[in-house]
Amino acid sequence: MNWQIYVNAFWVGGAICLISQLIWDLTKLTLGHILTSLTVLGGILGGLGLYDRLIKFAGGGAAMPILSFGNSLVKGAIAEAEKT
In a domain, 19, yes or no: no
Q: What's the pTM?
A: 0.84
- Per the structure, the count of domains in the chain is 1
The interaxial angle of helices 4-26 and 31-47, nearest 10 deg, is 130
> Which of these, 80, 71, 50, 67, lies nearest to 15 by C-alpha position?
67
Taking the chain (84 residues) in runs of 10, the rounded mean pLDDT of each run is 88 94 95 94 93 90 86 92 89
In a domain, 10, yes or no: no
Cβ proximity of 71 and 42 under 8 Å? yes
Domain housing 71: 39-84
Half-sphere exposure of 48 (CA within 13 A, CB side): 10
The DSSP output letter for 9 is H
At 24 the pLDDT is: 95
In a domain, 68, yes or no: yes
